[in-house]
Amino acid sequence: MFIFQWLNDQLLRMQWLSDLVTNLVQNVFGLNTQDRLGGSIQFFIYDVIKIFILLSVLIFIISYIQSFFPPERTRKILGGLKGITANILGALLGTITPFCSCSSIPLFIGFTSAGLPIGVTFSFLISSPLVDLASVLLLASIFNWKIAFAYVLVGLVLAVIGGTIIGKANLEDNVEPFVYNNKIVEVAQEELTIKDRLVFAKDQVIEIVKRVWLYILIGVAVGAIIHNWIPEDIISAVLGQDKWYSVLIATLVGIPMYADIFGTLPIAEALVSKGAGLGTVLAFMMAVTALSLPSLIMLKRVVKTKLLAIFFSIVVIGILIIGYGFNAFSYLLL
């Protein structure tokens, strides 16, 4: 147990990095990390470096694994399954595709045009931005393993239930006709060498970091401000877990925003440290990543209003239930 705790502190939480940054701020910058300015700078430098290190390593590993499952092979695997099993696999597929909500929509179009049931593709569409393997370790590095696994579990359950409801509702005619007419050409998949897979993984790291770096910097900056400048009683008064309206407010605030889960984690860390309810913070993260306004606008181009409204309602209701549930039982996780 001691060894596991040491590995968790040094590899995930990177306590060594926190100590180095603290020494940098105090001995080089001449600032006190207990003060607002020094604490903000320490929070910003430490979290930015930690997130980029973890993100790069995790995306490299995940992308290497993903190289064995190109879209065509994935489509064939899912195409042979039906019912709840297909929805579960669709949701699990979303966990190994580190895409934001907007980036997931082209794959959604591809899977739908290839003949997969829309319920399965919506399970994928919900889980892909909401849950991924990298988020498990990043959540564990900020909170703990119980919270990380619980978040992933409820995210997958929401994706499976949401996709199943949409599939049972027979809403295929609510997908724009061009999606079905966009036929995919079968192309033989050449076997990649180890070098090819390593290059693919490296390129994926570069591509994803280029896409999310700004959101990470903004998220960490907001987190530093919340952590060091906003009084705890203000956060607790608005977002405390004892406030019935906190989850609703967090969800509504998160929907118009657009950020990757990696950009919302530092904000979540700061809010929880200031007294916000765990479920409230997770609801905010889910709303930002799964229901961002840009992704809804893009989705409206490929589905009709009825299907979009059903998808939106299912995810919002699911997020609210998850948020209030985590607030009620957070004492079991913290």
For 148-175, the three-class secondary structure string (H helix, E strand, C coil) is: HHHHHHHHHHHHHHHHHHHHHCCCHHHE
Kindly tell me if the per-residue pLDDT of 183 is higher than 60.
Answer: no
Place of tokens 């039906």: 82
Could you report the per-residue pLDDT of 248-271, keeping only the tens digit for each?
A: 999 988 887 766 677 788 888 888
More confident residue, 290 or 38: 38
The pLDDT value given to residue 290: 82
pTM, entire model? 0.80
Query: Could you count the other beta carbons within 10 Å of the beta carbon of residue 199?
Result: 13
Q: How would residue 180 be classed by pLDDT, with cut points 50, 70 and 90?
A: low
45 burial class (0-12, 13-18, 19+ CB within 10 angstroms)? buried
Would you state the pLDDT for residue 240? 79
Of residues 114, 40, 33, the one with CA closest to residue 80:
114
What is the arithmetic mean of pLDDT over 8-15? 76
pLDDT tens for 110-143 read 777 767 788 888 898 888 878 877 777 778 888 8
What pLDDT does residue 187 have? 45
pLDDT at res. 185:
46
Q: What gap in Å lies between CA 283 and CA 272, rounded to an integer?
A: 12
Least confident stretch, 158-162, 181-185, 277-281, 298-302:
181-185
**Phi, psi torsion values for 185, nearest 5 degrees:** -85, 130
**Dihedral angle sign, alpha carbons of residues 316, 321, 326, 327:** positive
- The pLDDT assigned to 13 comes to 76
Q: Which residues pair with 303 in a beta bridge?
A: 175
pLDDT tens for residues 147-176?
Answer: 989 999 999 999 999 999 999 998 888 888
**What percentage of residues in the chain have a pLDDT greater than 90?**
24
Average pLDDT over residues 199-224: 86
- In the chain, count H helices and then E strands: 17, 0
- Cα 241 to Cα 252: distance, rounded to the nearest angstrom: 16
Tens of pLDDT, residues 323-334 = 999 999 888 887
Residues in a beta bridge with 175: 303
Per-residue pLDDT tens digits for 312-323: 999 999 999 999
Tokens of 169: 């509702």
- Average predicted confidence (pLDDT) for the chain: 82
Phi, psi (deg, nearest 5) at residue 78: -70, -30
Residue 222 pLDDT > 80, yes or no? yes
Residue-wise pLDDT for 56-106, tens only, equals 887 788 778 777 766 666 666 666 667 788 888 888 877 776 555 555 666
